[in-house]
Amino acid sequence: MLTATPTLASERLVERLATAKHVVVLTGAGVSAESGVPTFRGGGSTAVWRGLPFEVISSAGMLARDLPGVWEWFNFRRERLASVQPNRAHKVIAAWQERFADFTLVTQNIDNLHQQAGSRAVIELHGNIWRARCFDCETRHELRELRMAHDVPVCIDCGGNMRPDVVLFGEMLPPGAFERAAAAASHCELCFVVGTSAVVYPAASIPEIARAAGAYVVEVNPERTPLSDLCDEVLTGKAGEVLPLL
C-alpha cells in the first residue's frame, strides 16, 4: 500500500541525475525499515535489551564488563536479520553503481542488506553484524567461519577472543572508513542522504562536506531531520517508494 504520493524530483534534480558523474549516497537505518528492520530512533523510543537501553548494551563499557552478554545481544539481532531481505531501496541503490561513473555508497547500517542487494565496495562506517574481530590480532572473520567457546567466538589465527566487528558507542570508526567517505563527498556533484536521523557524527557530517564542496544534496526521509534545512532538496517519503521514481 503506497502512503501519500512521495514528493517527485524537481527539474534541477532531474538535470543533476542526468549529468552527475560523481555521486555519493549515505544511508541509515531507515533504508532497511521497509525490510522489517527496526530503526533506532523515530517514534520517540529506543531499543531496550534485558532492561538495558540500546546505548548501554551496545557500548565499549559493556564489552569490557560482559563480552558474552554483548554477544547474546548481537546474536539476537542477527537471528532477527537472518530472514530479512533487501527492499526496493537497496536494489535501486545497487543499480546506481552502474548508472553513475563514480559512485560511492556509505552506510551506517551493519545489516549487510546493501551487499545482499548487489552493492560492492560499500563503505561501512559502523561495521558489519556478520563479522567478528579478534581482540588480540585484530583479524576480521566472517562469523560462519568461527567456532564458539564459552559463548564467545575464538580467533582461528591466534586463538584469542573475538568481538562483534561493529562500532559500539564510545568507539572510533574503522580506520580509513570515514576518510574515504569524506574524500568522496568532497568531490561529488550529487549527494543523497537516505533514511538517517542525521544525529550521529561523524556520519552526519558527510552531506555537510558534500554541500560545502558545492554538491547538490538531497534528503529522502518520511520525516524532517536536523539536516533538512541544509539540503537543496527534500523528498518526503519512504526510500522504497521514492528512489524507484528517480
Write the CB contacts of 25 (distance below 8 Å, at least 6 apart in sequence).
93, 96, 103, 104, 105, 106, 191, 192, 194
Interaction of residue 221 with ligand APR, rule CB under 6 A: yes
* Helix, strand, coil distribution of the chain in percent, nearest 5: 35, 25, 40
Quote the least distance from Cβ 236 to ligand APR, whole Å: 10
- Cβ(205)–Cβ(227) under 8 Å? no
Quote the least distance from Cβ 89 to ligand APR, whole Å: 7
Which lies closer to ligand APR via its Cβ, residue 75 or residue 139?
Answer: 75
Q: Which residue is nearest to ligand APR (CB)?
A: 30
Which lies closer to ligand APR via its Cβ, residue 10 or residue 45?
Answer: 45
Which lies closer to ligand APR via its Cβ, residue 190 or residue 239?
Answer: 239
The helix or strand, by DSSP H or E, that contains position 75, with its residue range, turns out to be helix 67-81
Chosen residue from 9, 42, 95, 116 binding ligand APR by CB under 6 A? 42
- Cβ(110)–Cβ(27) under 8 Å? no
Interaction of residue 57 with ligand APR, rule CB under 6 A: no
- Cβ(5)–Cβ(241) under 8 Å? no
Q: Which residues in the 81-110 window bind ligand APR by CB under 6 A?
A: 108
Chosen residue from 7, 39, 75, 228 binding ligand APR by CB under 6 A? 39
Residues 89, 105, 80, CA angle at the centre, nearest 5°?
55
Look-up of cell digits 549487510: 112
Catalytic position from the list 126, 141, 150, 187: 126
Q: Tell me whether residue 141 is one of the annotated catalytic residues.
A: no
Residues designated as active site: 126
Binding site for ligand APR (CB under 6 A): 28-30, 33-34, 39-42, 108, 126, 195-197, 200, 220-223, 225, 238-239
